Amino acid sequence: MSQTQQPGPVFSGRASAVRASEVVLSLVASGLVGMRGWSGVRQLQHPYHRSLQLGLDRLAALCVRAGRAAPVGVQDLVGVWCAEQPVDAWPLEFDPDAQVRGERLLIGGEPSEFCLEWAVAAKDVVSEVHESALVKHIKDTAALLGRPELYARWRLFITSHAVLGPDAFLAAKNAVLDVPQWATWMEESYGPVPVELAVSGRVAVCGGCEQWIAPRADGLVRCRVWRCGQRHDLPGPVWVEAEGARRLEPELVRFVALPGHPELDLAQRLAARGARVVLYPKLDALDLVALWPNGYSVGVDVKDWHSPYLLARRIKTFPRWGAGDPYAYRKGYLVVPHDRLRSNRSYLKILERHSAALRAQPEIEVVSDRVLVASCPDVGPVGEVVCGA
- Beta-ladder partners of 387: 279
CB 220 within 8 A of CB 261: no
The interface with Zn ion within residues 210-249 (CB under 5 A) comprises 223, 225, 228
Query: Minimum distance from CB of 237 to Zn ion (Å)?
Result: 8
Query: Minimum distance from CB of 36 to Zn ion (Å)?
Result: 20
Closest CA to 276 of 290, 294, 296, 297: 290
Stretch that binds Zn ion, among 196-204, 209-217, 237-245, 275-283 (CB under 5 A): 209-217
| Binding string, residues 167-196; x marks residues near Zn ion by CB under 5 A | ------------------------------
3-state secondary structure at position 66: coil
Query: Minimum distance from CB of 8 to Zn ion (Å)?
Result: 42
| Residue 119 lies near Zn ion (rule: CB under 5 A) | no
Q: 233: Cβ–Cβ under 8 A, 6 or more apart, which residues?
A: none
Say how many CA atoms lie within 13 Å of 173 toward its Cβ: 15
Which lies closer to Zn ion via its Cβ, residue 66 or residue 258?
258
Stretch that binds Zn ion, among 56-64, 208-216, 292-300, 329-337 (CB under 5 A): 208-216
| Residue 383 lies near Zn ion (rule: CB under 5 A) | no
Closest CA to 185 of 223, 228, 220, 152: 152
Which lies closer to Zn ion via its Cβ, residue 59 or residue 209?
209
| Residue 252 lies near Zn ion (rule: CB under 5 A) | no
**Separation CA 260–CA 159 (nearest Å):** 6
DSSP per-residue string spanning 3-59? GGGSPPP--S-HHHHHHHHHHHHHHHHHHHHH-TT---GGG--SSPPHHHHHHHHHH
Q: 64: Cβ–Cβ under 8 A, 6 or more apart, which residues?
A: 70
**Separation CA 234–CA 206 (nearest Å):** 9
| Binding string, residues 87-106; x marks residues near Zn ion by CB under 5 A | --------------------
**Separation CA 323–CA 320 (nearest Å):** 10
Which lies closer to Zn ion via its Cβ, residue 189 or residue 211?
211
| Residue 156 lies near Zn ion (rule: CB under 5 A) | no
Could you say which of 56, 172, 186, 209 contacts Zn ion (CB under 5 A)?
A: 209
What's the Cα-to-Cα distance from 224 to each of 66, 189, 209, 212, rounded to whole Å? Answer: 36, 21, 10, 10
Which lies closer to Zn ion via its Cβ, residue 148 or residue 208?
208
Q: 65: Cβ–Cβ under 8 A, 6 or more apart, which residues?
A: 9, 10, 11
Q: How many other β-carbons are positioned within 10 Å of the β-carbon of residue 79?
A: 18
Q: 148: Cβ–Cβ under 8 A, 6 or more apart, which residues?
A: 142, 282, 283, 388, 389
Which lies closer to Zn ion via its Cβ, residue 43 or residue 230?
230
Which lies closer to Zn ion via its Cβ, residue 228 or residue 275?
228
| Residue 111 lies near Zn ion (rule: CB under 5 A) | no
Which lies closer to Zn ion via its Cβ, residue 89 or residue 221?
221
DSSP per-residue string spanning 172-222? HHTS-TT-THHHHHHHHHEEEPPGGG-BTTEEEE-TTT--EEPPPTTS---
Which lies closer to Zn ion via its Cβ, residue 227 or residue 246?
227
| Residue 82 lies near Zn ion (rule: CB under 5 A) | no
Query: Minimum distance from CB of 336 to Zn ion (Å)?
Result: 20
Burial of 243: CB neighbours in 10 Å, binned 0-12, 13-18, 19+:
exposed
Query: Minimum distance from CB of 202 to Zn ion (Å)?
Result: 17
| Residue 208 lies near Zn ion (rule: CB under 5 A) | yes
Which lies closer to Zn ion via its Cβ, residue 226 or residue 329?
226
Query: Minimum distance from CB of 260 to Zn ion (Å)?
Result: 13
Task: Tell me the one-letter amino acid at 18.
Answer: V
| Residue 206 lies near Zn ion (rule: CB under 5 A) | yes
| Residue 203 lies near Zn ion (rule: CB under 5 A) | no
CB 13 within 8 A of CB 44: no
Query: Minimum distance from CB of 211 to Zn ion (Å)?
Result: 6
Query: Minimum distance from CB of 19 to Zn ion (Å)?
Result: 35
Which lies closer to Zn ion via its Cβ, residue 125 or residue 204?
204
| Residue 205 lies near Zn ion (rule: CB under 5 A) | no
| Residue 162 lies near Zn ion (rule: CB under 5 A) | no
Q: Which residues bind Zn ion (CB under 5 A)?
A: 206, 208-209, 223, 225, 228
